Structure formats: structure tokens, C-alpha cells
Amino acid sequence: MSTLQEESLSSVVGQPPDGEKKKANTKKKYRVLNVNEGSAPKHLGQGISRAIGSVAAGAGGGVAALVAGPVVGARAGGASGAAKGFGMGLAGAVALPVIGVFGAVGQIVQGAVNTPKAIMATSEGKEWDPVTQSWILYSLAAERDLLLSQAAEDELQEWISEQKRLAKEDDDDNNDDEQPQKKKQVQN
């Protein structure tokens, strides 16, 4: 892939340009049209809602590609780069909305498939747990008993001790960094 293509793609999908890849925070994640939180919709209504988001993201990405392509191309290669960038932007302007529509269809189908399970779970008094991505029967009394148990108390105390230890390590590290500066000031 040429530098022009890499820069154009980077500007469209939100990845850092080559020179900034090393400086970029490794915890930061870059996504392309990921408006659906990485899980299947629970029911048809959520599938339709996500489908609208997918189409909108595809259309927005297409417009961004059409605008960004020539600009990035012109920066990289002048007038001929702008022409190449326009071609790439035009390809993105066509491809990204199509991808958004395919994603929308998938979301609607998944939502329709999951709707009977959602109706059944709701009628059984279950709630959606976003952590486990499943329907659960929630019991406030059971959670109260769990939270008030000795095991929970022990776990909480262990967590507090660990947090204090980490905070002390951070303070020690900061103090170590400051010590050479103080010594230099005293010597001067």
C-alpha cells in the first residue's frame, strides 16, 4: 500500500498517521463503523435502532472519505495526489454506505431472531445483564446476602489493602524522581 493510500485510509478510519503510531496510546482502540457495541441486539426494536446507526455511520464515513481523500492526496502528492485521493475518496464514498447497509440488515435480522427469547425472558421476570450479555433472574435479596457475607467483607478488605499498596508504590516512585532534583538544588 502506498503512503498516500495509508494516509487516506488512516484519515477515514481514524487511525493515527505513520509518524504518530509510536506515540499513540496503546490503550486507545480505533474502530471502523462500530456503532453496535460488539453484541447482538436483544430484540427487533434494538436491531432497528442499531440499523439506523449503522446506515448513518456508513453515510457519514462515505462523506468523510469523499472530503478527506483529495485533501490528504494533495498534501502527499500535489495535484496528482489530489486526483488519486479523489478516486480513493470516491471509492470510500460508495463502499462505506454499502457496508453500513449490510450491517443494518444484519442488525435487523439478529434483532428479529432474538425477539422471542427477549419476550420469554421478560415474561419470566428476567433482566438483561450487559456484563454477561445474557438474561438473568435478578434477586435483590440474594445480592444483599452476597454483599453482606464475610467472604465479601474479606474481599473488600483485600482490595482496599491492594489499593493502598499501589498508591504507596506510586508515591515512592514519585519521590524517587524528585530526589535527584532536590540534591541538585542543594549542591548549587
pLDDT of residue 17: 45
pLDDT digits (tens, 9 = 90+) for 24-56: 444 444 444 445 556 889 899 999 999 999 999
pLDDT digits (tens, 9 = 90+) for 51-71: 999 999 999 999 999 999 999
Dist CA 74 CA 81 (whole Å): 5
pLDDT of residue 151: 81
Q: What is the DSSP letter of 26?
A: T
pLDDT of residue 4: 41
Whole-prediction pTM: 0.54
Q: What is the mean pLDDT of residues 127-145?
A: 85
Give residues with Cβ within 8 angstroms of 73, minimum separation 6. 4, 8, 81, 82, 83, 84, 85, 86, 88, 89
pLDDT of residue 152: 78
